[in-house]
Structures are given as structure tokens and as C-alpha cells.
Structure 1
């Protein structure tokens, strides 16, 4: 069974660098308090690491 993570956007991307906003969009986080379930792959882990100060992460 593949591991997955739940990522929730808790800080606004307004005023953040364009790279951070693009990473959030790629993760599917378009609104505050939106939650997405993603497979825990190295690519997803790296993307989450770039915006860890703006999201909450739970392992499922």
C-alpha cells in the first residue's frame, strides 16, 4: 500500500514569491484551508518542503 499525505494550505500566498505560488498551484492548493491528499513521492515531498511554512502536513 502506497503511503499518502494530506496537505492543507493555512497561510495565504499573497505577497509570497511567484515560485511559492506556482508550487502551491502544482500541489492543487488554490484556496486557504483547502486540503488535498497526495502520494508521498520524492517529488511531492520536495514541493511540500519548499512551502512548508505555509501548509500543514499529515501522514495518512
Structure 2
């Protein structure tokens, strides 16, 4: 698992459990339709799995941050 992943917040955090909101903030996602490029690590994969119902995830090329 190397490279990077583009993660976009697709749904609002309103009404979500505090744990989910903390995970999203830790990923750098604070507003709907914001996109961040993250390293493809087991830690990030676990975070994505936790809130996958709120995200859009795309594979990104290594150099396009």
C-alpha cells in the first residue's frame, strides 16, 4: 500500500456521533465537498473504513497532490 488517496467529504457531519466527527477532523475534512490527499497507509485505511458512508474515495497518482 503506497501512493496516495483522494478523499472527499460527501455528506455532512451534522447529527453524526462525536467519534465520527473526530475522525473526519483528523483527516482534515471539515466541510462538505472538501477534498484532501492522504497517504495510503493502514491507519488512513482504518479511518476511511470507520466513516466510509460519509466519503468518496479515489485512487490518486503518486505525484499529484
TM-score, normalised on structure 1?
0.96
Q: Secondary structure at the match of 2:26?
A: helix
Residue of structure 1 in register with 2:29 after alignment: 29
Which blocks of at least 5 consecutive residues in structure 1 are unaligned? Answer: none
Cα RMSD (Å) of the superposition?
0.6
Q: Which runs of 4+ in 1 moved over 4 A?
A: none
Which blocks of at least 5 consecutive residues in structure 2 are unaligned? Answer: 61-65
**Which has more radius of gyration?**
2
User: How many residue pairs were aligned?
Assistant: 59
